[in-house]
């Protein structure tokens, strides 16, 4: 049972345009959401997060939007750069427990074309 879903395995975007990566979740107990970026032969690196008490969080070119009623979040990258080409993982956790357990989606491969 995939509690966190990224339905687009890949996305191709032109440099300078907006990249929108989507993520859906099924477990209403999730209250903290994160995006990680992964380059080949490297471990994932934390990108941005959002608590369920917010609906938007920005950090430079990256913005995460959360729609709790739809159980949907999205990551916007504006403007997209070739260096953004990587696999992006959406992840969720329940802060109620004293644990760092994250539930990850299957990832979306973003290719930013120069």
**DSSP strand E in 52-114: where?**
56-59, 62-67, 72-77, 86-93, 103-104, 108-113
Smallest separation (angstroms) from another protein to the CB of 21: 14
Alpha-carbon radius of gyration of the chain = 14
Q: Would you call 83 helix, strand, or coil by DSSP?
A: helix
Q: Which is nearer to another protein, 79 or 94 (CB)?
A: 94
Smallest gap from Cβ 14 to another protein, in A, equals 27
β-pairing verdict for 108-113 and 103-104 = unpaired
Q: Whose Cβ is closer to another protein: residue 27's or residue 113's? A: 27
Least Cβ distance, residue 5 to another protein (angstroms): 10
Q: Which spans of this chain sit near another protein (rule: CB under 8 A)?
A: 4, 6, 32, 34, 36, 41-46, 49, 89, 91, 93-107
Residues paired with 90 in a beta bridge? 35
Pick 20 or 48: Cβ nearer another protein: 48
């Amino acid at each position: 049972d995939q509690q966190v879903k990224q339905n687009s395995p890949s996305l191709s975007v032109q440099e300078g345009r907006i990249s929108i990566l989507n993520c859906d979740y099924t477990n209403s107990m999730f209250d903290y959401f994160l995006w990680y970026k992964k380059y080949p032969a490297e471990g994932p690196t934390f990108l941005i997060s959002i608590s369920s008490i917010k609906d938007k969080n920005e950090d430079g070119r990256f913005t995460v939007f959360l729609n709790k009623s739809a159980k949907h979040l999205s990551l916007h990258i504006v403007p997209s750069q070739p260096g953004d080409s990587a696999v992006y993982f959406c992840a969720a956790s329940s802060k109620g427990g004293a644990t760092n357990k994250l539930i990850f989606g299957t990832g979306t491969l973003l290719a930013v074309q120069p």
